[in-house]
Structure 1
Amino acid sequence: MIILYDFRSANPPTDPRCGYSPFSWRVRFALRIKGLPYKHHWLELPDLEGIAKSVGADPTSKKPDGSPRYTIPFIHDPTTNKVVSNSFDIVDYLDSTYLDTTKMIPEETRLLQSVFANSDYTLVGQFMYPVIGKTMTKRTPSLVTPRNLEAMKARGPLPELTDEQEKEAWEKFKNVLGGFAKQMNDAGPFVMGKKVSMADAVLFGWFGITRWLWNETTDEWKDMMSWHGGRWNKLIEAFESLPEVEKYCDAEGNLKI
């Protein structure tokens, strides 16, 4: 069974909304689309680098001082004894290793899938992070573990937006998603219509974190699911209709909150 390393939140490990990384949600989307059983190894931010090194995960970038930066997600596949970092590389590995599963990165669209996966900071993230930042400022103590919160604060204050700035950022986010919707194939719920791809996993990653912040009972979530003819609700429903393959587990040390 594949092991997915991910940050845990204050939600119980058995809660599907325990994890809050949009990049880990990409991998969770791909694993479930492929029907590959997996389990979580939940960890906290202060333990990330040590655990990554201990299992042989590669760094994904460099820090300003030139030292390696380790990020989640990364996976360990006991079947092949491979450890893979970076969401795009993980999905690419799953495609090449499990050939009888749905291929998420078709060769004819590989470059486009890569560009989309690496550009979503610009396309969506620049508008989404301010909104998330304000919400986390209000709700972080109830959503993030104390150790994660301490590590996050050490990196600097979370964004502080006025109500007007938040409204503007939310509208920009809606407009960016609207641009995606216009380019998507209407034949099915996915970016390419009936054919699922990495692009869907990228979009779902952002919906995963927004659902962590605003669950189905909130006006924000209901509003988003009504946008663009219910396009995003259809994507969520397509994912939720898949057979359950997840197995949740506590990280080593049985974290207590």
Structure 2
Amino acid sequence: MITFFDIPGRSEVPYSPNTWKVRLALNIKGIPYRTRYVEVADIESTCKCLGIPPSGKKPTGEPHYTFPAIIDDTVRDNVVKMSDSRPIIEYLDRTYPSGGDHAFFPPRTDIFQTEVQDIILTRILAQAPFLWVLDLYRVKTPRDRQNIKTRMEGKFGKPMDEILVCGEEWQRHWTEVRRAFSEIDRLAHQSANWRSNGPFLLGQRVLYADVVLCALLLCLKTSISDKEWSQIASWNRGRWTRFLDAFQPWIRAEDYQRWKD
């Protein structure tokens, strides 16, 4: 069985967009798995102890350990240990084929999927520290609050509450988020693979890009204010509400236990 590594929090459902990508993929494919929850502060030591490889390198050149991660011991003499969402989901596609409709990387979608992922990373998530750093701080466990505080203050060189912007500066970052969602909407409509009779980016079929976008929306819905979420949900003719509704059968984390002090 697959052991899936996720992050606990104070939110009603898991909050990490990165781990949600893999959880959604597992749920969509119907692959049995168990979840092990590890605080961010313990990710590196846990991965080293279990032999899970790093997902990249830090600016210092040291190994960088992140979640999601999986250990697949279904085949006992070929245990697979992986980290990072995209390689994991590519592995799931290869190892657990479940019909064409649940292949996340169908032919002739690579460029579109990369464009959507880049927009989410460089245009939406790039605004997160300035708009939502305190929201993200609040959904974390006490130890992980200290972790994000140390990282954010080290990165920006100022107290965390001063990283947040307001007034015209807030509006500039918020407008960039809205434009980014509109760009995803435009790309989907212009894609040669687009089909109008479905709720997902290219119609009826769930792609990796859909999973990435759904994971982001779940993080935002879980973490940010109701007022801001309502605005996002209404953008692009209410598309993102319908999009998230279509994922409801797979938005499951039955084993999740909300952190309580």
TM-score (norm 1): 0.84
Alignment check: 8 A CA contact 2:132 2:224 kept: no
- CA–CA distance in structure 1, aligned partners of residues 24 and 234 of structure 2: 22
Determine if the alignment matches structure 1 residue 179 to structure 2 residue 183.
Answer: yes
- CA–CA distance in structure 1, aligned partners of residues 112 and 187 of structure 2: 13
- CA–CA distance in structure 2, aligned partners of residues 64 and 208 of structure 1: 29
Deviation at 1:21, TM superposition (A): 1.7
- Find the partner of 1:220 among 228, 232, 235: 228
- CA–CA distance in structure 2, aligned partners of residues 128 and 46 of structure 1: 21
Alignment correspondent of 1:26: 21
Q: Secondary structure in 2 aligned to 1:83?
A: strand
Quote the sequence identity (%). Answer: 29
- Counterpart of 1:95 in structure 2: which amino acid? D
Deviation at 1:247, TM superposition (A): 3.7
Deviation at 1:160, TM superposition (A): 2.2
Q: Secondary structure in 2 aligned to 1:72?
A: coil
Alignment correspondent of 1:154: 150
Aligned-residue Cα RMSD (Å) equals: 2.4
Alignment check: 8 A CA contact 1:59 1:70 kept: yes
Deviation at 1:250, TM superposition (A): 6.0
Q: Secondary structure in 2 aligned to 1:108?
A: coil
- CA–CA distance in structure 1, aligned partners of residues 187 and 119 of structure 2: 16
Worse overlay, 206-215 or 194-203: 206-215
Indicate the structure whose relative CO is greater, using CA pairs within 8 Å and at least 6 residues apart: 1
- CA–CA distance in structure 1, aligned partners of residues 36 and 112 of structure 2: 31
The 5-angstrom pairing of residues 159-238 of structure 1 reads 159-184=163-188, 185=194, 186-214=196-224, 218-238=226-246
Determine if the alignment matches structure 1 residue 84 to structure 2 residue 82.
Answer: yes
Q: Secondary structure in 2 aligned to 1:148?
A: helix
Deviation at 1:25, TM superposition (A): 1.4
Deviation at 1:118, TM superposition (A): 5.5
Alignment check: 8 A CA contact 2:112 2:187 kept: no
Alignment check: 8 A CA contact 2:24 2:250 kept: no
Alignment check: 8 A CA contact 2:54 2:65 kept: yes
Deviation at 1:93, TM superposition (A): 0.6
Question: 1:196-222 CA deviation, whole Å, 9 max, x = no partner?
Answer: 10000111121121011137xx22222
Q: Secondary structure in 1 aligned to 2:177?
A: helix
- CA–CA distance in structure 2, aligned partners of residues 119 and 67 of structure 1: 28
Listed as ranges, the gaps of 5+ residues in structure 1 are none
Deviation at 1:173, TM superposition (A): 0.4
Q: How many residue pairs are counted as aligned between the two chains?
A: 242
Alignment check: 8 A CA contact 2:116 2:184 kept: no
Q: 1:228 to 1:118 in 2, by over 3 A?
A: closer
Listed as ranges, the gaps of 5+ residues in structure 2 are 154-159, 189-193
Q: 1:192 to 1:39 in 2, by over 3 A?
A: same
Q: 1:249 to 1:178 in 2, by over 3 A?
A: closer
Deviation at 1:249, TM superposition (A): 5.2
Alignment correspondent of 1:248: 255
Worse overlay, 127-136 or 85-94: 127-136
Q: Secondary structure in 2 aligned to 1:194?
A: coil
TM-score (norm 2): 0.83
Deviation at 1:10, TM superposition (A): 2.0
- CA–CA distance in structure 2, aligned partners of residues 228 and 119 of structure 1: 16
- CA–CA distance in structure 2, aligned partners of residues 91 and 67 of structure 1: 25
Determine if the alignment matches structure 1 residue 73 to structure 2 residue 68.
Answer: yes
Alignment check: 8 A CA contact 2:123 2:176 kept: no
Q: Secondary structure in 1 aligned to 2:108?
A: helix
- CA–CA distance in structure 1, aligned partners of residues 165 and 40 of structure 2: 25
